[in-house]
Amino acid sequence: GGAPSSLAFVGVLDSGGSPHAGHEEDEHGHEEGEEHDEEEHEEDEHGHEDEEHEDEGDAHGHHHHHGSEDPHYWFDADLASVAIEAIADELSHLSPDDANVFSDRLGLYLGEVAAADAEARALIEAVPDHHRLLVTFHDAFAYFARRYGLEIAGFLIEGPEQGISAEAIAELIELIEHEGVETVFHEQQFDSSALDAVAAETGAKRGIIWSQPTEENPTYIGILLGNARAIAEQ
């Protein structure tokens, strides 16, 4: 049967919505996600990236701390699944008569997420080491990097609410040249001019990845696989 018409669709992240708006109140509402973030961020704020990428021997100067939390938890498929289960539980609470529908769809969707996670892992496992260094517009991919064995080399800004400084551009250019990074990844919802200038100055290629759904790539599974393919095909 169809979804109950009385309930609006609730997603892990709405298409076009900003994960940075109010994430402290709602995006970490589930206990598991909060515990995960606290473990990742409270022990050593200034060594955060080293902790995340200890197997990669990360020694770059860009640290990952959105205040006390990183809101982009959905790039860890296990945490995303916890959120999806919480959404299904809440929908069943709001509409008990449709609990079986939500339960059935939950099982199907969790299977799709697990399959996408496995496909993303397989794609990235084939990526050579020199393509495992990610340079992005903003600091949104720490969970993704940790999940799939990548390394965050750098980014222009920590969050989209920040302005882009000439110093940040110069530092990123220096980092790219020093590390031999071959591709910089832009996010479609942001102005690309600064990252275009970095690519032009360094000779790096320009790729596209997604930190959230967009009109062109509107689903969670779409952004998960889109990112893996973009990195694998660079």
Residue 11 tokens read as 């997603």
Q: Which pLDDT band, with edges at 50, 70 and 90, does 68 fall under?
A: low
Polymer length of the chain: 234
Element (H, E) at 118: helix 99-125
- pLDDT, averaged across the chain: 81
Of the two residues 9 and 150, the one the predictor is more confident about is: 150
Q: Which pLDDT band, with edges at 50, 70 and 90, does 3 fall under?
A: low
> How do the domains of the chain map onto residue ranges?
25-75+122-232
74-83 confidence digits (pLDDT tens): 999 999 999 9
Helices (H) and strands (E) in the chain, counts: 9, 4
Task: State the burial class of residue 130 (Cβ atoms within 10 Å of its Cβ: 0-12, 13-18, 19+).
Answer: exposed
CATH superfamily of 25-75+122-232: Nitrogenase molybdenum iron protein domain (3.40.50.1980)
pLDDT for position 18: 55
* Residues 100, 92: Cα–Cα separation, whole Å: 8
